[in-house]
Amino acid sequence: MRTYLLRRCIYMLLILTGASLLIFFLYSLTPGDYVDNNLSLSEERKAELREIHGLNKPILERYVNWMANMFKGDFGYSLAQQRPVLDLFQDYIWNSFLLAVVSTFFTWFFAVVVGVLTAYKQYSLLDTLVMIGIFAAMSIPSFFIGLFLIKVFAVDLKILPPGGMITTGSRAAGLEYVAQVLHHMLLPVAVMVLLGVGSLTRYFRSNMLEVIRQDYVRTARAKGLKERTVLYRHALKNAMLPAITLIGFELPGLFGGSIIIEKIFNWPGIGQLYMQSFTVRDYPLLMGFTMFLAILTVVGTFISDILYHTSDPRVRL
């Protein structure tokens, strides 16, 4: 195990080095940046900013400086926001984390329940209707579902807010603030659950179909156990094992999967900040956020491998 951990750490460092090279050169070689595109700046001021932020140095030297600062916990300085990237992350990332955690919980909950039921009642009317609904939800773009729900529930019925995290101008505190946040979360969470539950339900359904045909499940039924016990205690436990590999990929998805949703619902999260930075080509922030996602992806994959080995010792690392 110690050898595996050492080998895996070296492997992760190599992957992150490759990812950092790709991210840095991809953004740096893209024509135009925040300074070039800012028409309010004079040529003298642009030259001054390039000197201050080191943008006039050779690209290899800039990459080495960027990586050296990254090892110190410095993800760069946002030119558009005029603040360190890490400070901006701390201001926005927890809003995204809240939205993503709640939607992930409901997505997995509905996917497990519906996946088990449709596998148990394969080819029934319920199974057919669920499959039609899943394919319909997976085929519709996220922005269309978001705008449609805003029109129905915010514009026509006026029972839910169209966007934001709290009511405009509100000075709510304590439980009143929590209630406002929960109220504003309903629509974005609903869209994220609708988008995520389809593929995950199909995944659980396929695993359950495979497991419930195994001999040990037939044996459990032959012993006279209740069908609920057979499904949830014996079949589901084994059907969930492959899903452990998905948990690792949920980690970067917590912050990167809601970019469009945050923009549609004006949710003050890291996704909306990313979109704003992309519009003005604030490359230091874009590079810092993309590198942050790369780190989460590598760490998440590592965690999923360890969990898989822990849950099933037959899997060799």
Model pLDDT, residue 184: 92
pLDDT at residue 14 tops 90: yes
Model pLDDT, residue 183: 92
Model pLDDT, residue 43: 83
More confident residue, 317 or 76: 76
Model pLDDT, residue 257: 65
pLDDT at residue 65 tops 70: yes
Q: What is the mean pLDDT of residues 87-96?
A: 88
Of 1-5, 12-16, 297-301, where does mean pLDDT reach its minimum? 1-5
Model pLDDT, residue 261: 86
Q: Please provide the average confidence, as pLDDT, over all residues in the chain.
A: 84
What one-letter code names the amino acid at 257? Answer: G
pLDDT digits (tens, 9 = 90+) for 219-266: 888 888 888 888 777 787 777 777 777 776 777 766 766 778 888 888
pLDDT at residue 316 tops 80: no
Separation CA 179–CA 186 (nearest Å): 11
Separation CA 71–CA 67 (nearest Å): 6
Q: What is the mean pLDDT of residues 9-15?
A: 90
Q: What is the mean pLDDT of residues 31-49?
A: 81
- For the ranges 194-198, 245-249, 303-307, the maximum mean pLDDT occurs at 194-198
More confident residue, 240 or 154: 154
pLDDT at residue 186 tops 90: yes
For residue 291, count CB atoms less than 10 angstroms from its CB and return exposed for 0-12, middle for 13-18, buried for 19 or more: buried
Model pLDDT, residue 173: 82
Model pLDDT, residue 256: 67
Model pLDDT, residue 20: 92
Under the banding of pLDDT at 50, 70 and 90, the label for residue 126 is confident
Half-sphere exposure of 290 (CA within 13 A, CB side): 18
Model pLDDT, residue 219: 85
Under the banding of pLDDT at 50, 70 and 90, the label for residue 124 is confident
Q: Which residue segments constitute the domains of the chain, with CATH numbers given?
A: 96-272 (1.10.3720.10)
Of 64-78, 144-158, 302-316, where does mean pLDDT reach its minimum? 302-316
Under the banding of pLDDT at 50, 70 and 90, the label for residue 131 is confident
Three-state helix/strand/coil letters over the chain: CHHHHHHHHHHHHHHHHHHHHHHHHHHHCCCCCHHHHCCCCCHHHHHHHHHHCCCCCCHHHHHHHHHHHHHCCCCCEECCCCEEHHHHHHHHHHHHHHHHHHHHHHHHHHHHHHHHHHHHCCCCHHHHHHHHHHHHHHHCCHHHHHHHHHHHHHHHCCCCCCCCCCCCCCCCCCHHHHHHHHHHHHHHHHHHHHHHHHHHHHHHHHHHHHHCCCHHHHHHHHCCCCHHHHHHHHHHHHHCHHHHHHHHHHHHHHHHCCHHHHHHCCCCCHHHHHHHHHHHCCHHHHHHHHHHHHHHHHHHHHHHHHHHHHHCCCCCC
